[in-house]
Amino acid sequence: MANRVFILPLRSDLAGVGLNLTDLSPNAGQKNGVYDGTPQNNYIAEMHDAEGVTVVNGIAYVSGSLNTTLLAAHNDIADDTTGGGNDVVATQQTCFGLAAYLFDRVQTGGGVGNAPITIAQANTCAGLIEAAALAGNALTEAAINVILAANIAGATTLLAAGGASLSFGTVEDIMRILAGEIYRLPLLTILGTQADVFLTLANRQVLVTAQTPTFITAQGQFYVSGGFLAAGDSGYRARPTLVRTGAFNISNAEGVIDGYKLATIEVLNTVNFAYTAATVTAIKPRARLLGGGNVAATGIGAAIGVYDDAGNPL
């Protein structure tokens, strides 16, 4: 969506503390019927989950992190879509989050015949993208490409198609994930040929379309790619669609949003989070920062980062 902006929660202790974008409009409390659009004055919600273990049932989320640390169980291995012998490499366990997104959509090196990236590369690059967001650095396509190329061996690796690259990631998707939307990569998602050659969406679709009900029953339902959870899906988290209006620009420059970005803001959600190791309990985890690290014991530190849909910090 053109002109979209993203509020990225930078710490895990924000949900429920009442950080509201009160100076954005339309305002839900002042909405004028059909004449105003979707309200923009939303509360800051929970942060994109810290990396961790996810418990699943098939393709459904059960518990744990919605930002899965990819393990050997999530790897793509040789598999058979029709019963005629191995013809693809496909994922073997459902996973969620940023590393899952990169694993699904990024091709190593960006050349025809090259493989999907590895789970280790996906984990590493996801962590570095999160660290860049915490630091307020650019997350443009060019900036993300630098991260990918520096941490994936071989020729330059790209987020999206370009030159010989078959990757099909987008900056806007990454912004959605960092803002808290949930991306799911189902088990039996086709990533490449049986020789581990990365496949485009169109080529994956050919293989999925070729499955008959008999083969689906015998082999399982294969998928073309992952996607964002929708309302009704287990693990779904609603996020508002914010646009860059005049009210947003004022708030971001000198209003409520600007205040929430300041490194001097203090949040102490001591009912739900601990701010020292000594106060951690079974039901009160340590308040964490995006991408790792602890919120200061004082609770002082920026609450949010703000980006446009091209990955530029605002």
pLDDT tens-digit readout, 119-129: 999 999 999 99
- Given this model, what pLDDT does residue 43 score? 86
pLDDT at position 1 is 60
What sign results for the dihedral spanned by CA atoms 179, 180, 181, 186?
A: positive
Burial 195-226 (b: 16+ CB within 10 A, else e): ebbbbeeebbeebbeebeeebeeeebebbbbb
Which stretches of the chain drop beneath a pLDDT of 70?
Answer: 1, 25-41, 110-111, 154-155
CA distance 121 to 123: 5
What is the predicted pLDDT for the residue at 237?
Answer: 95
Looking from the CA of 112 toward its CB, the CA atoms found within 13 Å total 2
Tokens found for residue 281: 């309990």
Closest CA to 181 of 244, 122, 123, 100: 100
The pLDDT, as a whole number, for residue 174 is: 98
* Confidence at residue 144, expressed as pLDDT on a 0 to 100 scale: 97
Token couple for 302: 């920026």
Torsion sign across C-alpha atoms 129, 130, 135, 137: positive
- Residues 13-48 as b or e (16 or more Cβ within 10 Å = b): bbbebebebebbbbbeeeeeeeeeeebbbbebbebb
At 165 the pLDDT is 87
Residue pair 117/104 in contact (Cβ under 8 Å)? The answer is no
d(CA 35, CA 293): 45
pLDDT tens-digit readout, 20-35:
988 886 554 455 555 4
What are phi and psi for residue 79, nearest 5 degrees? -150, 170
Q: For residues 139 and 311, what is the distance between their CA atoms, to the nearest angstrom? A: 4
Read off the tokens for 277: 């190791």
Six token digits for residue 271? 């009912």
Amino acid at 130: E
pLDDT of residue 24: 81
pLDDT in tens, 159-188: 998 878 899 999 999 999 999 999 999 999
* DSSP code for 176: H
- Residue of 151, 127, 56, 122 whose CA lies nearest to 95: 56
3-state SS, residue 128:
helix
Alpha-carbon radius of gyration of the chain: 21
d(CA 222, CA 81): 7
Q: Which of 108, 107, 101 is nearest to 189 (CA)?
A: 101
Q: What contacts 224, CB < 8 A, 6 or more positions away?
A: 189, 190, 201, 204, 205, 208
C-alpha to C-alpha distance for 186 and 224, rounded to whole angstroms = 10
